[in-house]
Amino acid sequence: MNEHPHLRAVTGGAASPVTPAASAFPSVSAFPSVSAAPVEAPGTAPGTAPGMAPGLSAQHRPSAHLPWQRPHWTRRDDLLDGVARWGVMHTRYGEFRLQPVRLPRDLPLLVDWMNDPVVSAFWELCGPAELTEQHVRAQLDGDGRSVPCLGLVDGTPMSYWEVYRADLDPLARHYPARPHDTGLHLLVGPAAHRGRGVGSSLLGTLTRRILRERQAARRVVAEPDVRNLPSVRAFLRAGYRFDSELPLPEKQAALMVFDRPQP
């Protein structure tokens, strides 16, 4: 099991064999066009999963609480402000909304996506259903610091998202986390939705909704593998900036940050 289940990102094509340096992230134009890959495979997914992005603890439970962490926070709404109630978001591709994953109802669909070679290259959840189930259930059975969701467009599931508290995640040991930092992992499931800008569009829309619903959060972060250039490019297109490279236990990640706009 990965120590940092939250590090993933799949949005564009297969991974590039070359690991770009920080200087390779100056602008969107620096990246090749997004190919048929899912969007963000975290290197720290919430659970123990070889998929999203190999990286942090499967349980998302840091061994020591950071100054702003409160061990008594147990209600899910206290940690992520009611993800299930964030409502419908209007996008150029249709009406988008998040629907928290339910097991066993959603497992067959997730397993199908995780076994797509383009997705499994970074999420590493290719294999039997038990592997994906364990990854998702670790989040569902946790204290609410990570919420796995299906992304629906006009009522049809077409993506998978993990909204999590980056400041409460093992990822916080690897970058200067701030209170209420919110993290995202995502993948676009059906190949027909990839490579058309869908991932970056939904990513930008959801990021703005997060900052609207989570007033305490000052920014949204992500950590795709630096080799996953289509994913990094999707974040850049969505308005994120490249902050730095993070040497995580199971990958070299690109720390992507979307700052709350100044009034």
Instruction: Provide mean pLDDT across the span 208-213.
Output: 98
Instruction: Provide mean pLDDT across the span 124-137.
Output: 97
Q: Reply yes or no on whether the pLDDT at 219 is more than 70.
A: yes
pLDDT digits (tens, 9 = 90+) for 53-107: 333 333 333 333 343 444 433 444 479 999 999 999 999 999 999 999 999 999 9
- CA torsion through residues 207, 148, 110, 134, sign: positive
Q: What is the 3-state secondary structure (H, E, C) of the chain?
A: CCCCCEEEEECCCCCCCCCCCHHHCCCHHHCCCCCCCCCEEEECCCCCCCCCECCCCCCCCCCCCCCCCCCCCCCHHHHHCCHHHCCCEEECCEEEEEEECCCCCCHHHHHHHHCCHHHHHHHCCCCCHHHHHHHHHHHHCCCCCEEEEEEEECCEEEEEEEEEEHHHCHHHHCCCCCCCCEEEEEEECCHHHCCCCHHHHHHHHHHHHHHHHCCCCCEEEECCECCCHHHHHHHHHCCCEEEEEEEECCEEEEEEEEECCCC
Q: What is the pTM of this model?
A: 0.76
The band of 262, judged by pLDDT with boundaries at 50, 70 and 90, is confident
Nearest to 226, CA basis, from 117, 126, 122? 122
Q: Reply yes or no on whether the pLDDT at 204 is more than 90.
A: yes
Q: What is the pLDDT of residue 99?
A: 98
Residue showing tokens 């959060």: 217
Instruction: Provide mean pLDDT across the span 99-120.
Output: 97
Q: Are 41 and 52 in contact (CB under 8 A)?
A: yes
Q: Which residue has the higher pLDDT, 24 or 137?
A: 137
Q: Which residue has the higher pLDDT, 23 or 123?
A: 123
Q: Which residue has the higher pLDDT, 253 or 50?
A: 253
CA 48 to chain centre: 14
**Residue 235, both tokens:** 């974040």
Mean pLDDT of the chain: 80
- Cα angle 93, 96, 97 (rounded to 5 degrees) comes to 170
Instruction: Provide mean pLDDT across the span 26-41.
Output: 46
pLDDT digits (tens, 9 = 90+) for 157-190: 999 999 999 999 999 999 999 999 999 999 999 9
Q: Which residue has the higher pLDDT, 160 or 24?
A: 160
Residue 192 and residue 172: Cα distance in Å, rounded? 35
Q: Reply yes or no on whether the pLDDT at 31 is more than 90.
A: no
Q: What is the pLDDT of residue 192?
A: 87
